Amino acid sequence: MKRPAAFSLLGGAMLILGFSPSSAAQSTFVNTLMPQPAHLRVGSGALPWNTAVTVGLPHFKNQRLEDAVDRTLMQIERKTGVPRQRAITTSDASSLTIDVDGAGDAIQSIDENESYTLAVTSTGVKLHAATVVGAMRGMTSLLQLIQPSGSGFIVPAVQIEDSPRFRWRGLMIDVGRHFEPVEVIKRNLDAMAAVKLNVFHWHLSEDQGFRIESKIYPKLTGEGSDGLYYTQEEAREVVAYAASRGIRVIPEFDMPGHTRSWLVGYPELSSDPGPYTIRREFGVEQVAMDPTKDSTYQFIDAFLGEMATIFPDSYLHLGGDETPGTQWKNNPRVVAFMRAHNFKTTEELQTYFSERVLELAKKHGKHMVGWDEILNPDLPTDAVIHSWRGAESLTAAARRGYHGILSQPYYLDGMKSAEEHYLADPLPSNSDLTAEQRKFVLGGEVCMWGEHINPLSIDSRIWPRTAAVAERFWSPESVKDVDDMYRRLDVESLRIEALGLRHLTHEGAALRELAGTEDTDALRVFASALQPVSFGDRYKGQHTDQLTPLDNLVDAVRPDPPTRHQIAVLVGDLLKTPSANEQARTQLERQFKSWAAAVPTVETQMSTSPLLAVARPRAQQLLQLSQTAEEALSYLSSSSKAPAGWKQAKLAQIGTAREQQALVRFTFVDPLEELVKAVPEQ
């Protein structure tokens, strides 16, 4: 690997792990990199970013690289207001030199070299990478480095040597249960590239919808999609769009379960004659493909052959999760087949199916990925295990020589905090896998299941939380300071918004629509105290199906909104020295007062908005909880005692506020409970 001179001069000593807080003497560098690079050293000085900046591609270049350079320069232009350099030269003495060894894999592989080095001095930026994808990763870091300074912008002097910890860093989007137009997919690919994710897992078929055109089997979308699907041309466009951003596209055709939409047009694929309709309910469906008929495999063979012309990646996801045995057990022919093959359980029959489709995947040049149910004793070890039910299946698979991908801790519809996802490591250092076994862990995937999302809300469910997980997949395990992660996540969230994502604008628009007015200041304050309940709680609470309108308060409010972490930190700070931490107390008081003050206006708006009115109990609770917080803060700051019974009453109030109501929950009940518990009582 060729290194730019400026970099090699510094030698190994400069490679300090993680972020070095900069001293004023060195530079004004504020680290907002996300993900954090493997090695970073802060230098002194900075390159001014102005119209004098020249750009050179001294060695290799191709269209993909030039497009990536263009995109980066446009993003920098928008951020700085400095018109971009449009004349790209081949000079290696440019202020920004992008030195790339070669194109990289013709079709980006799992082993694509994504490493890069970035050396910034006061006279220039030298980016070096072995491949175009590596250069893209470096350009993303460059964009993140640029910061205001005085009346202009600078790139602070740093030395970065970076490469990903995991090879497989994915985001799965389920477009089966609710369809997402190409435009939504594209903007999410932009955001993925911004945080160096490299796999888009496209969950293209479900009981509730078949989403990609097949010319061989036109009834798949003709009868199984409600007209909501991607044409082959659109799918190719998405693949190209992803490739130009260094992202592989892995399509998933879930089978033999989760296939009711296939059976609407082709009931003969099932072991029950049907007829079938598109499923509207969620949850596990009782139908599955018939694994005993050769015609099933002929169908899959031809279909996969067709899909292989659209999706060039060498991996293919064939699902395999939640396959019910009901239909199989009820069909005497299938039962006879099982007996003849000496299969004692339907799981064994599924393994037979998995082996046969794995052979078909191979025939079309693909490795097969499947959800962890496929991990049965007879499964060939060239299958990749996608772990969704627990990290144990990942380690079990690695021990037995299967490659694996972790998703279990990264389900966005659980509506957990970025923090919780962030701290879940796919391969913690205390894992008891051997060094050899550890290599089988390819990485992880964030999962965005489709029950409760639509094109309006999806961005706010994926971002910014996924950026935190992207750092988990890319950066060293030791990078896990949660407060610092949130500080940088706030900045990254805005960078992602600048790409066109709507995770921040969605809430305001949805609240305006709910309230029927632009005057939503109070409602926004109210909403800032709320987050959606988990997938399970909503499903149970609302009995949602595919046709349920997603236009409630729960669809508007943000998962893990800023107040959650802020209040937890402030309460933590305060409780260290309850009577002395003025600043934390003042900020907490201000926040709770502002919530209490918003309630009357919100209640008035609720009286004219049927869709808001269901949350009326939440408004009353917010008022009460805010008063409780103010009382607690007052006792703590004055070191006085609450009357006997106060604590019990307030804890009961908090308990009530924790109960399911209106599909939303408060962001601050845990720290509030700590606060109440800390109050001394008479």
Q: Which residues bind a second copy (CB under 8 A)?
A: 77-83, 86, 148, 150-153, 183, 490-491, 493-494, 497-498, 502, 504-505, 508-509, 512-513, 516-518, 547-549, 551-552, 562, 608-611, 613
Pairing of strands 248-252, 199-203: parallel
Q: What SS3 class is residue 532?
A: strand
Go through 6-19 and write b for each residue having 16 or more CB atoms within 10 A of its CB, e for each that does not.
bbeeeeeebeeebb
Distance CA 237, CA 228 (A): 17
- Region of 616 (left: φ > 0; alpha: ψ -120 to 50; beta: rest) is alpha
Tokens representing residue 450 in the block: 């489709």
Residue 322: active-site member? yes
Tokens representing residue 615 in the block: 């949350």
Q: Min. distance of Cβ 585 from a second copy in angstroms?
A: 20
8 A C-beta contact, residue 230 and residue 182? yes
The full DSSP string for 358-404 is HHHHHHTT-EEEEEGGG--TT--TTSEEEE-S-HHHHHHHHHTT-EE
What's the CA angle centered on 508, arms 513 and 458, to 5 degrees? 90
Q: Min. distance of Cβ 647 from a second copy in angstroms?
A: 34
For residues 142 and 379, which CB has a smaller minimum distance to a second copy in the complex? 142
Q: Tell me the torsion sign for CA atoms 97, 101, 107, 108.
A: negative
Q: Min. distance of Cβ 280 from a second copy in angstroms?
A: 10
For residues 152 and 572, which CB has a smaller minimum distance to a second copy in the complex? 152
**How crowded is residue 26: how many other Cβ atoms within 10 Å of its Cβ?**
17
Which residue from 647, 641, 655 is spatially nearest to 628, judged by alpha carbons? Answer: 647
Q: Min. distance of Cβ 556 from a second copy in angstroms?
A: 12
Q: Min. distance of Cβ 456 from a second copy in angstroms?
A: 8
In sequence order, what are the beta bridge partners of 425?
none
**Residue given tokens 């703590």 in the structure block:** 636
Contacts of 439 by beta carbon, 8 Å cutoff, 6+ apart? none
Pairing of strands 152-162, 147-149: antiparallel
Q: Min. distance of Cβ 549 from a second copy in angstroms?
A: 5
Contacts of 335 by beta carbon, 8 Å cutoff, 6+ apart? 328, 329
Distance CA 426, CA 164 (A): 14
> Which stretch of DSSP H or E encloses residue 289?
none
Tokens representing residue 426 in the block: 């796919």
- The length of the chain in residues reads 682
For residues 348 and 497, which CB has a smaller minimum distance to a second copy in the complex? 497
8 A C-beta contact, residue 290 and residue 330? no
Q: Min. distance of Cβ 183 from a second copy in angstroms?
A: 6
Q: Min. distance of Cβ 493 from a second copy in angstroms?
A: 7
For residues 396 and 614, which CB has a smaller minimum distance to a second copy in the complex? 614
For residues 82 and 482, which CB has a smaller minimum distance to a second copy in the complex? 82
Rounded (10°) CA dihedral 263, 266, 270, 274: 70
Distance CA 71, CA 74 (A): 5
Tokens representing residue 157 in the block: 């002097």
Q: Min. distance of Cβ 609 from a second copy in angstroms?
A: 6
For residues 272 and 560, which CB has a smaller minimum distance to a second copy in the complex? 560
464 preceded by a cis bond (ω within 30 of 0): yes
**Residue given tokens 């998933």 in the structure block:** 252
Q: Min. distance of Cβ 135 from a second copy in angstroms?
A: 21
For residues 369 and 568, which CB has a smaller minimum distance to a second copy in the complex? 568
Pairing of strands 88-89, 55-56: parallel
35 preceded by a cis bond (ω within 30 of 0): yes
For residues 140 and 528, which CB has a smaller minimum distance to a second copy in the complex? 528
CA 565 to mean position of chain CA atoms? 19
Which residue from 204, 317, 210 is spatially nearest to 265, judged by alpha carbons? Answer: 210
For residues 558 and 585, which CB has a smaller minimum distance to a second copy in the complex? 558
8 A C-beta contact, residue 135 and residue 65? yes
The full DSSP string for 631-655 is HHHHHHHHTPPBPTTHHHHHHHHHH
For residues 44 and 548, which CB has a smaller minimum distance to a second copy in the complex? 548
Q: Min. distance of Cβ 148 from a second copy in angstroms?
A: 5
The full DSSP string for 465-488 is HHHHHHHHHHS-TT---HHHHHHH
Tokens representing residue 490 in the block: 């706030």
For residues 76 and 379, which CB has a smaller minimum distance to a second copy in the complex? 76
For residues 424 and 504, which CB has a smaller minimum distance to a second copy in the complex? 504
Of the candidates 237, 306, 322, 347, the residue annotated as catalytic is: 322
Q: Min. distance of Cβ 424 from a second copy in angstroms?
A: 25
Which residue from 167, 248, 246 is spatially nearest to 440, judged by alpha carbons? Answer: 167
Residues identified as active-site: 322
